[in-house]
Amino acid sequence: MSISELDIAVEALDEAVKSPPPSMNQLREEHERLREEVAEGRPQAVARQRSLGKRTARERLELLLDEGSFLELDMLRRHRAQGLGMERQRPHTDGVIAGSGTIDGRRVFVYAQDFTVFGGSLGEAHALKIQKVMDLALSTGSPFIGLNDSGGARIQEGVMSLNGYGGIFQRNVAASGVIPQINVVLGPCAGGAAYSAALADFTFMVRDTAQLYLTGPDVVEAVTGERVTHAQLGGVQVHGTRSGLAAFVHDDEESCLADVRYLVSMLPSNNMSRPPALPARDAVHDVRPRLAEIVPVERNKPYDMRQVLAELVDDGDYLEVHAAWAPNVICAFARIDGEVIGVVGNQPLVLAGVLDVAASQKAARFVRLCDAFGIPLLTLVDVPGFLPGTDQEHAGAIRHGAKLLYAYCEATVPRIQVIVRKAYGGAYIVMDSRSIGTDLSLAWPTNEIAVMGAESAVNVIYRRELAAASDPDMLRADLVARYTGELLHSTYAAERGLVDDVIDPVETRSVVARGLAMLRDKRKHATPRKHGNVPL
């Protein structure tokens, strides 16, 4: 350094020493201005987000959380990537808002991806923010909620983006069955981000704006030549009705986030705590005359099992999971006498309530989730069997049916079975029968429990006699009546201890409420093994 340069440096230092340091108020004001700028975002980007019919990340958090409860973490965090012009673009938050708040006064941890910053893409800093709140959620035993609106991995950060996803997935798995994990898709959720949706306990999607897929339409066309839209590839219709990935589907963000709040109210904070209870409703003395009218005595006549469910639960109020996927089985959360339960029921309105590949998967995952979080199970049975056919057999009906069987056999929560009408073949066993460990098996007088229906049984047992008969129809009718009277009468299973009681349908709510109270302190059995091998 020359003498002249040294003089200039000394002079500048003298000036700096003479200038008084900023006051605390000045520092506070400057910091507050910075926070306000970060919170408001870039006006043009925010306007574009709203033009797409989407709210901003902060507006979504305001809808989801109790007013004034949100504590933001890492608001001023920025990426440290170099090259490709990234050093000139270092916005605060790095495209994700992360922190903690409350829902109905209960602690949750949450992140909301901000599409106005780098398209919500995930880079190193973005991922570390999500991982931080996931770690806090697990360490405090609090539900974890992710609001997704992202173009996927940030290409400019290369492998660090992929590493970030891996860290998130590892935490998804570590938290599985320990804290509830809820994934909400409010825009694109592409590439690696899609796996968080699959690993979560519940995924919500909003119609018209949500897209969930591993590879976008451009890649699909380049590789396969197939032209497909975003909606056709990974829209709500696909995941709500075909893939089964979306547990809940909504028309708008407001109703979606309201239902997230409702779901949280049904779930415990973690696997060591009980689900939140409401005041008791004197259900043990509640008689419901309409239950005797809903279900037809004729075993082949359809009805809506949801109507039965509505009569059994408090205020007729329940939250159905995967309503549009595998609708031949119903899975729902509800309350009886203020206590949360999980309900699995056959739906005679769809495919006569048979079990098939999709229904078995749906019910098995729901049973395992309820068992993981200590939620008692009520199973409403009216099942004619498994769906026959080569398509089902080739699709793995045996393997997928075994998932449901495995889930029930392994469940240690209180379990109550109500046989409403028919229960035939292996499907009877799988639907939480006494033989696989249900704690309380109840049946209505309309129950028919057998290997198969009377007509089918007669056709098998007496096929030679029927073939030789001069009037096979008359003989068949006589044999069906005899078979029904001997093996399908309403007390046959109860006489053998496979049903604990045949009850008046109108008393079902009260009997189930007493059963749940009886089983409330049921203890888990110790298992010496590390884990079983689920037929995945």
Summarised one tens digit per residue, pLDDT across range 419-436 is 999 999 999 999 999 999
Q: Do domains 21-266 and 283-453+488-519 have the same CATH topology?
A: yes
State residue 503's pLDDT score: 97
d(CA 415, CA 407) in angstroms, rounded, equals: 12
The model's confidence at residue 82, banded by pLDDT at 50, 70 and 90, is: confident
**Greatest CA separation found in the chain?**
127
Checking phi first, is residue 282 left (phi over 0); if not, alpha (psi -120 to 50) or beta?
Answer: left
Q: How many CB atoms lie within 10 A of CB 307?
A: 15
Residue 147 pairs in a beta bridge with 112, 184
CATH superfamily of 21-266: 2-enoyl-CoA Hydratase; Chain A, domain 1 (3.90.226.10)
State residue 2's pLDDT score: 60
Looking at the annotation, which residues are catalytic?
191-192, 426-427
Cα-based distances in Å from 471 to 255, 465, 475, 477, 478: 62, 11, 6, 10, 11
- CATH of range 283-453+488-519; options 3.40.50.300, 3.90.226.10, 3.40.50.10860, 3.30.470.20: 3.90.226.10
95-135 pLDDT tens trace: 899 999 999 999 999 999 998 888 888 888 999 999 999 99
State residue 25's pLDDT score: 81
Domain ranges for the chain: 21-266, 283-453+488-519
Q: The whole model's pTM is what?
A: 0.90
Query: Over pLDDT 90: what percentage of the chain?
Result: 62
- Tokens 């009468």, residue located: 489
Q: Looking at residue 31, what DSSP letter applies?
A: H
